[in-house]
């Protein structure tokens, strides 16, 4: 453990690659509704009269670049040391793909994201260089 040498990491980067701008289906979250009253609209241009706009929210929020999910261990048996939770894969696939799209996992390991693709109605390509680690069948998903 590196705790005595550097801060412990509480996050992990996930990279999403695409040829052209992908679909974006934000998975909205919910917070406390608010009403901040009225303020001047600042999007009408540089000159002229500003229209007032009401600043309020019903609690619906756009996602941020930090998302929280339970670990793969919380979903059941873990087959790979860096296994990701299926729910994380489902979230990302719903957010950045359309039904019928192809999801590529070029380091698929246990196959969590492949399972996620099947559950979300997407096709998949999984690549894993270590034959001992390819455990997609362990998830018991019909595809």
Asked if residue 62 lies in contact with residue 95, where contact means CB atoms within 8 angstroms, the answer is no
Tokens of 118: 């099947």
Segment 3-11 shows an average pLDDT of 88
Segment 24-47 shows an average pLDDT of 82
Segment 30-40 shows an average pLDDT of 87
Highest mean pLDDT among 7-16, 28-37, 75-84: 28-37
Please determine, for residue 139, whether its predicted confidence score (pLDDT) is greater than 80: no
Asked if residue 83 lies in contact with residue 105, where contact means CB atoms within 8 angstroms, the answer is no
Its pTM stands at 0.77
Q: What pLDDT digit, counting tens, does each position of 38-65 carry?
A: 877 666 566 666 678 888 899 999 999 9
Rounded CA-CA distance 107/91 in Å is 18
* Three-state DSSP class for residue 32: coil
Question: At 79, is the pLDDT very low, low, confident or very high (cuts 50, 70, 90)?
Answer: confident
Looking at residue 65, the DSSP 8-state letter turns out to be: S
Q: Choose between 63 and 134: higher pLDDT.
A: 63
Helix crossing, 86-96 with 112-119: angle to 10°? Answer: 50
Tokens of 66: 């930090």
Q: What pLDDT digit, counting tens, does each position of 97-117 carry?
A: 999 999 999 988 888 899 999
Count other Cβ atoms within 10 Å, centred on residue 124: 21
Asked if residue 103 lies in contact with residue 113, where contact means CB atoms within 8 angstroms, the answer is yes
């Amino acid at each position: 453990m590196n705790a005595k040498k550097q801060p412990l990491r509480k996050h992990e980067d996930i990279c999403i690659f695409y040829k052209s701008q992908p679909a974006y289906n934000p998975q909205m979250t919910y917070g406390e509704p608010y009403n901040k009253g009225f303020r001047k609209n600042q999007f009408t241009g540089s000159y002229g009269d500003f229209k007032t706009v009401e600043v309020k929210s019903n609690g619906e929020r756009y996602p941020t670049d930090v998302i929280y999910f339970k670990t793969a261990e919380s979903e059941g048996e873990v087959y790979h040391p860096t296994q990701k939770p299926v729910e994380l894969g489902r979230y990302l696939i719903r957010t950045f793909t359309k039904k019928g799209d192809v999801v590529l996992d070029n380091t698929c390991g246990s196959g969590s994201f492949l399972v996620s693709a099947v559950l979300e109605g997407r096709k998949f390509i999984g690549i894993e260089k270590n034959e001992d680690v390819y455990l997609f069948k362990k998830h018991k998903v019909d595809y």
